[in-house]
Structure 1
Amino acid sequence: MSEQQAPKAKKESVKQVSSIWLVPLVAIGIGLWMFYQYITSQGPEITLNMGTAEGIEVGKTEIKALNVKVGVVTDVTLNDDYTSITVKAQMDKDAARMLKEDTLFWVVKPRIGKEGVSGLETLLSGAYIQLQPGRNGDEEREFTVLDIPPVAPPDAKGLRLVLTHNEAGKLGVGDPVLYEGFTVGRVEKVSFDPETKKAHYQLFIFEPYNSLIRKRTRFWLTSGVDLNMSAEGFNLKIGSIESLITGGVSFRVPKGRDPGELITKDLSKFRLYNNLKQVRERFFDEYLEYVMLFDESVRGLNPGAPIEYRGIRVGTVQKVPLSLRTMREGFTNKQIPVLVRIELGRVLDHVNYASLGDLKTNLEREFDGGLRASLKTGNLLTGALLIDLELYPDEPPIKQREYANYDLFPTKAGGFAQIQKQIMAILNKVNELPVEDTLLSLNATLQTSQKTLAAAEGVAQELRGLLAKNDTQAIPGEIRESLQQIQQTLNGFGPDAQPYQNLEQALAQFEQVMAELQPVLRQLNEKPNSLIFTGEKTPDPIPVGGVQ
């Protein structure tokens, strides 16, 4: 069979896809599906501004809400001016609804604060960022991380208040808010307003204690130990253990005052006082200002010292001295001006005055009646002084009524000043005594006494010489003989002597005669004429013719 007759093969193109390509196609589909799932499950990216990146790690530091992971940190960079840290974080899809204007973030790490020890679980797991979900406002994607955890969540039940004070640093975040020593709230935020130059302290009062906040509620700083030494004596107060360590703020409506209506509006403003004493003083807003002029030293008289009338406080010292410019004569002026306030609220507790005008009119009458002010020692230990008011009816009427555009309150030297004047008067009299003449006379007297003593000594020597003579020593024997003769003479008048016995017999006879004379004397006493007429009666005559 020749080559020309050989059959030829027919070529046909066959279109066929190999099954091997199904594997990459499936892989691509699965990848696309996973990418879609990733994209759809991702939440928004947020920006967090922090002061420091301590404890923050990219890809490791989680964001948690109620201990559930809702995001992770993806980037940490310095901001443009290198003053803070900018943190980027990827949030879960479910976390998008938590990101509101009032959402809060803070770093959870080991912390020792005023409320105790917290964040110990992060010692092993590392720090994380805590998210507190927001409730109000629009969605937000940029936040500032708090330095410390918030005191209460935005939706917590209670009342938020703002206290104002002229000085910053009086309170710190977390400090307790006390009512009668019991913690009813916390300091939530501290700020300073440069325009008003006042510090603002935001408090959160927990429910149900918010019902204690009234219109006339007063807030004051509470220190652990409050020791006050003044003219009124010692005053020691000790707060709670927590306030003893950290301090805090207390509040209440002062006793005897109308509490006013209930405060329900958040962020209502109140004034923060330094202490409870300042709170009490601020209730005496109606007062009369006077100037008192004192001739004595005002050392120990401080602003805030009480003005009392027989132990009842009626006012307060405002300024000591009023002003050196009011002392026109400079240091040659003997009087120190002191500005005081007579407070109507204090006087109303004891006397019924309807207004300041009535009080001023009455005081002017009292001035004419002898009402005077004087300095007295209020505390012997500290030397603090107070001003005491008393009536002195003998005082002359006052002539000066004003001083430096202030009404003048008449004064009188205090007891100590009077004692000083009396002592000075005594010393002046002592100085006026003729001491030199007295000393000269005394010197002359001493010289005369010395001469007399010398003469007495000469007499004593002569007496000793006289006693030493034999004639003088013989005198005692002669004296004894004379005494014996006198004794013998006296013995002759004794009971056994004859003269004594004769005298006794004579006295016996005299007594007998007197006994016999007693009837005669009695008869003469009864009938003095018995010596002339007999004592017998003559019988009555009988007529002769009468006999039968």
Structure 2
Amino acid sequence: MSRPPDNRSPDIPDAVAVPRKRWRMQLVWLVPIVAVLIGGWLAVKAVLDKGPTITISFATGEGLEAGKTKIKFKNVDIGTVTSVVLSPDHRSVIARAELAKDASRLLVSDTRFWVVRPRISGGTVSGIGTLLSGSFIGMDVGTAKTSRSDFVGLETPPVIATGVPGREFILKGDDMGSLDVGSPIFFRRLQVGQITSYALDGNGKGVTMHVFVNAPYDKYVKDDTRFWHASGIDVALDTNGVKVNTESLVAILIGGLAFQTPEENADKNEAAVGEEFSLFRTRDEAMKRHDRIVDKYVFDFTESVRGLSVGAPVDFRGIVVGEVAAIYTRFDPVTKQFSIPVEIRFYPERFTSRYKGGEKRGRIAADPHQLGDWLVARGLRGQLKTGNLLTGQLYVGIDFFPNAPKATIDWNANPPELPTVPGGLQSLQDSVSALIARLNKIPFEGIGNNAKQTLQDADALLKRLDSEVVPQARSTLAAAQAALNSANTALQPDSPLTQSTADTMRELARTAAAFRTLADYLERHPEALIRGKSEDKK
């Protein structure tokens, strides 16, 4: 077969067909493939390194900003808020945040979150640094074992962080006073704790407070420890006078609590965590003896009880043996009279309290009814007394009045009624009233008329004396004066009567001398009475 003529130039070689390789890879695709592999590895690494996502519900979004607000634990950034939106019911704000991977073990059921912003509470100032850096979300890790991803943020920061050594206790009181979260707790004027939270009781009759006492001071909280309000300045006016008590300058300004254990119970066991205590208004009320045996009685007074208040002491010869529990009024339809029943709490143990070593012995007698009848029969009575003249406070005194009217106790009444006697002032008023009543019975008008008549008769008598008796009296006095003058003249030294009297006295002296001589002779010569005087022999 002849070949067609070749018109190409003899210098151009002939093309030779080469078979194409089906799976041959071009170098141009190497770069995209490497980029895809790197991107995939970065994506997987990002997923593997991504931390947990949580949601926190707050009452308000104040201080929260998506992409800027940080979450800090011990002042270290561990996450960022990614979004802030309203809740479906529009009652709260939900903040979504992404945390670091190593923070996942911190998210337990009792972990707490709160917004850190400048605050002044309980005398402490916190969050001042956020004025420059902006608000952030604080975090306190709990101790639970279960994990959690949705939380409810606190409106106020926790006062005590988790893990701080110490113990928490519960206080029950009538009101909060000037206390607040963060208010200090004092022990012997040293600050040892704080109030962590409070709430109104369900029945509305009191408040419940949670307090935290730091270690090592928590060991001084015993089973019989007493807590009381140490807020401000406590000024008391009672039967003991004026009292002013303060705890510290901090307590005066912001309030606080204090506690102490009575010396006789200082060796009791330490209180357990969460133990409940009563909160008293004052230290005196808190440290008052808590008696195991309490009897209730009533004193029925007919006089004014102004100045007597609930809590006033019941005193027996200077020893407080009870206190006033209530004061009422009573109207007796039979006698048509009003009276003031005063209910008291009586502590019989205080009559048997130890003054040396040993325990209390309870009641004085096994049968209190028999003992009460015996005491009342011997004059045991209640009486209102003035405890302080400055304040006018009264108290109930118990003592024996042997001359008091006879009385008995009705033990069927609840509570039994003890007899009374009028108070000292009332007794004085009764005596004055009785004296005035007696004076009113005296017929002063008749006495006045009689006195007037008597004065008239006396005046007539004086006039008669002046007209009749006085002239005669003058004559008598003149005669008496003359007699006195004569006697005076006769008694002059140079008068005849005086000279005669002197001569007579001289003669009497000579006669007495002669008799004395005769007596001496007869004593020497008694025979002369028979024989006569013998002649002298020459």
Aligned to 2:386: 377
Residues 302-317 of structure 1: pairs in structure 2 closer than 5 A? 302-317=309-324
Q: Residue 329 in 1 paired to residue 336 in 2?
A: no
Query: Structure 1, residues 359-393: CA drift from partner, whole Å, max 9, x if none?
Result: 44323211111111111111222322111111122
Structure 1 counterpart of 2:472? none
In structure 2, relative to structure 1, the CA distance for the partners of 1:234 and 1:9 (3 Å cut) is same
AA in 1 matched with 2:323? T
Equivalent positions of 1:139-538 (< 5 A) are: 139-165=147-173, 167=175, 171-194=179-202, 199-257=207-265, 259-263=267-271, 265-281=272-288, 283-321=290-328, 324=330, 327-329=331-333, 332-349=336-353, 354-355=362-363, 357-399=366-408, 401-402=410-411, 404-440=413-449, 517=511, 519-526=513-520, 527=522, 534-536=532-534
How far did residue 492 of structure 1 move? 12
- Letter of the 1:119 counterpart: G
CA shift for structure 1 position 103: 1.7
d(CA) in 2 for partners of 1:358, 1:227? 42
The answer to whether structure 1 residue 6 and structure 2 residue 11 are counterparts is no
Checking the alignment, whether the CA contact within 8 Å between 2:376 and 2:408 is kept in structure 1 is no
CA distance in 1, matches of 2:354, 2:95: 68
Q: Secondary structure at the match of 1:194?
A: coil
* Bigger shift: residues 423-432 or 142-151: 142-151
* 2:373 counterpart SS class: helix
Report the 3-state secondary structure (helix = DSSP H, G, I; strand = E; otherwise coil) of the residue aligned with 1:423. helix
Q: Does 1:135 align with 2:139?
A: no
Alignment partner of 2:115 out of 91, 107, 111 = 107
SS of corresponding position for 1:425: helix
Q: In the TM superposition, what whole-angstrom CA distance separates every residue of 1:292-318 from its partner, at most 9, and x where no partner exists?
A: 111212222222111111111111111
Q: In the superposition, relative to structure 1, how do residues 84 and 312 fare at CA in structure 2: closer, same or farther (>3 Å)? A: same
CA contact (8 A) 1:168 1:192 kept: no
What amino acid is aligned across from residue 307 of structure 2 in structure 1? Answer: G
Q: Would you say the 8 A contact 2:227–2:260 is kept in 1?
A: yes
Match of 1:312, as an amino acid?
Answer: I
The answer (yes or no) to whether the contact 2:179–2:231 under 8 Å persists in 1 is: no
CA contact (8 A) 1:215 1:259 kept: no
Give the C-alpha shift of residue 420 in structure 1: 1.0
In the aligned structure 1, how far is the partner of 2:515 from the partner of 2:252?
116
Query: Which residue type is aligned with residue 349 of structure 2?
Result: G
Q: Which runs of 5+ in 1 are unaligned?
A: 460-482, 540-548
The CA distance in 2 between the partners of 1:79 and 1:93, in whole Å, is 27
Against the structure 1 CA distance between its residues 253 and 328, is the aligned structure 2 distance closer, same or farther, given a 3 Å change threshold?
same
How many residue pairs are counted as aligned between the two chains?
Answer: 504
Q: Secondary structure at the match of 1:211?
A: helix
How big is the shift at 1:441?
5.1
Q: 1:503 to 1:72 in 2, by over 3 A?
A: closer
Equivalent position of 1:463 in the other structure: none
Q: CA deviation at 1:225?
A: 1.6
Alpha-carbon distance in 1 for matches of 2:490, 2:316: 93
Q: What SS does the corresponding residue of 1:5 show, helix, strand or coil?
A: coil
Question: Which 5+ residue runs of structure 2 have no aligned equivalent?
Answer: 468-481
Distance 2:129 2:212 in 1: 28
Native 8 Å contact 2:178 2:254 kept in 1: no
| Aligned with residue 48 of structure 2, among 32, 40, 47 | 40
- C-alpha contact (below 8 Å) 2:121/2:181 kept by paired residues: no
Identity, in percent, stands at 31
SS state of the match for residue 51, structure 2?
strand
The one-character-per-residue Cα deviations of 1:104-127 (angstroms, maximum 9, x if unpaired) are 222222222324322222111111
Q: For residues 184 and 30 of structure 1, what CA distance do their matches in structure 2 show?
A: 59
Q: Is the 8 A contact 1:102 1:154 kept in 2?
A: no
Higher alpha-carbon deviation: 426-435 or 188-197: 188-197
C-alpha displacement at 1:416, in angstroms?
Answer: 1.2
Hey, what's the Cα distance between the residues in 1 that align with 2:402 and 2:492?
A: 85
Aligned to 2:475: none
Q: Which residue of 1 aligns with 2:91?
A: 83
Deviation track 1:418-472 (CA, whole Å, cap 9, x = no partner) reads: 111111112212222223334555666888999999x99xx9xxxxxxxxxxxxx
Structure 1 residue 520: deviation in Å? 2.2
1:115 and 1:516, CA in 2 relative to 1: closer, same or farther beyond 3 A?
closer
Paired AA for residue 239 in structure 1: E
| 2:308 maps to amino acid | L
Distance in 2, matches of 1:338 and 1:386, equals 11
Deviation readout 1:270-312 (Å, 9 max, x if unpaired):
3333333443457123122212111212222222111111111
Q: CA deviation at 1:60?
A: 0.8
Q: Is the 8 Å Cα contact of residues 349 and 362 (structure 2) preserved in structure 1?
A: no
- Please say if residues 181 and 195 of structure 2, whose CA atoms lie closer than 8 Å, have aligned partners that are also in contact: yes
Matched letter for residue 263 of structure 2? K
Q: Residues of 2 paired with 1:509 and 1:204: CA distance?
A: 127
- Classify 1:388/1:494 alpha carbon distance in 2 versus 1 (closer, same or farther; 3 Å): closer
Alignment CA distance shift 1:5-1:200 (3 Å) = same
Deviation, 1:510, is 6.0
Alpha carbons of 1:513 and 1:444: their partners in 2 closer, same or farther (altered >3 Å)?
closer
> SS of the counterpart of 1:151?
coil
Relative to structure 1, the CA distance from residue 257 to residue 503 in structure 2 (aligned partners, 3 Å threshold; closer, same or farther) is: closer
Mean Cα deviation higher: 509-518 or 179-188: 509-518
Q: Are 1:92 and 2:86 counterparts? A: no
Q: Post-superposition shift, 1:411?
A: 1.0
1:232·1:378 contact (CA, 8 Å) conserved in 2? yes
> What is the CA–CA distance in structure 2 between the aligned matches of 1:112 and 1:302, rounded to whole Å?
40
Matched residue type, 1:252:
Q
Q: Answer with 294-303 or 411-420: which moved more.
A: 294-303
Determine the structure 1 residue equivalent to 2:60. Answer: 52
The amino acid that maps onto 2:144 is N
**Counterpart in the other structure of 1:543:** none
* CA displacement, residues 143-179 of structure 1 (integer Å, 9 cap, x when unaligned): 2222332232222222122223354677432122222
